[in-house]
Amino acid sequence: MSFDFICMCKSKPNESEKLLQCHSESCENGRFFHLKCLNYKRMPNDSQTTWTCPSCRKKGKVTRPQKDDVDNDDVTFIQTLYTRTEKYKSLMSLGENEFSIISSPTGWLDCAIIHEAQILLANVNKNIKGFQRPTLGPVGQFDIVTSDFVQLLHVNNNHWVCVSSINCAPGYVNLMDSLSSSVLSQEIIGLVENLLGPRYKGINQLPVQQQLNLSDCGVFAIAFATCLVYGLNPSQVRFTIPMMHPHLLYCLKARAMQLFPTI
């Protein structure tokens, strides 16, 4: 296969690199993308899905290339469209490795653990939408949500936050960040725009309890989301931090999310 294309970063990929391919034939960004150019650490878990670049997705460009247009023996591609079911189903079955991460007071939760908690949270209140796979965010593949929703987001490649439209004016969301900053990152704004589409107007930062170490962001994000599905305001809750990891482990093993212990 000859590399007669370039990534949107304008550099020519070598033959050993794994690339994402935009499935739209009319893509204006080169159609092939380095993972690092999309702030994506690895290929999405479901390698059988077709990926559309953010630009084509916004413009509604979804023309499918012919099967013979690419040689799959030379480059790894994502080739079929995410179905609605795939955007919500489990990333993987949690095992002892994941449970040991959760058990550790300094365990850093990964996407599989976070999404497993989201699946359980979605069962608490069927009127609250969202809870899409967090891996969809960095590649601009969230479904647009038009009703009350809760969504956990992975930002900066190392941090988890919770956003929700519950009790917000149309076009706005509340951001719950256990490492709050006075400045909203463009990454968070972009992810929320992806969730709201053209309805997006702004983000409110709620004052919430702050983590005491560098690794508890995922547990706090899940705890904030749990408050929301049970009708509580996360700003008015203070969690018992030493009990948060054991509580999350218990809920995941019991397959039912319950409110986190509070002071």
Q: Tell me the per-residue pLDDT of 36-81, one tens digit each, with 9 for 90 and over.
A: 666 665 655 433 345 666 666 656 544 444 434 433 333 333 333 4
- Residue 225: both structure tokens together: 């989301």
Q: How many CB atoms lie within 10 A of CB 43?
A: 16
Q: Report the C-alpha gap between 66 and 70 in whole angstroms.
A: 8
Architecture of domain 1-81: 2-Layer Sandwich (3.30)
Q: What is the pLDDT of residues 151-170, one digit of tens each?
A: 999 999 899 999 999 999 99
Could you tell me where the beta strands, DSSP code E, fall in the chain? 19-21, 32-34, 129-130, 149-155, 159-164, 172-176, 202-205
pLDDT tens per residue, range 191-225: 999 999 999 999 999 999 999 999 999 999 999 99
- CB 113 within 8 Å of CB 80: no
Query: Beta-carbon neighbour count of residue 237 at 10 Å?
Result: 17
pLDDT at 256 > cutoff 90: yes
| Residues β-bridged to residue 152 | 162
Q: How many CB atoms lie within 10 A of CB 48?
A: 10
What does the radius of gyration of the chain's CA atoms come to, in whole angstroms?
A: 19
Order of strands across the sheet that contains 172-176: 129-130, 149-155, 159-164, 172-176, 202-205
- Domains of the chain by residue range: 1-81, 87-254
Instruction: Look at residue 69 in the predicted model and tell me its pLDDT.
Output: 40
Residue 240, C-beta contacts closer than 8 angstroms, at least 6 positions apart: 260, 261, 262, 263
Start-to-end Cα distance in the chain: 62
pLDDT of residue 43: 57
Report how far residue 261's alpha carbon sits from residue 244's, in angstroms, rounded to the nearest whole number.
Answer: 7
Of the two residues 23 and 168, the one the predictor is more confident about is 168
| pLDDT confidence of residue 181 | 83
DSSP letter for 5, please. Answer: -
Average pLDDT over residues 168-185: 94
Report d(CA 15, CA 261) in Å as an integer: 52
**How far does Cα 222 stand from its chain's mean position?**
13
Q: What is the pLDDT of residues 120-149, one digit of tens each?
A: 999 999 999 999 999 999 889 999 999 999
DSSP label at 182? S
Among 3.20.20.80, 3.40.50.180, 3.40.395.10, 3.40.640.10, name the CATH number for the domain at 87-254.
3.40.395.10
Tokens of 175: 């951001």
pLDDT of residue 88: 87
| Choice between 118 and 81, residue whose per-residue pLDDT is larger | 118
* pLDDT tops 60 at residue 107: yes
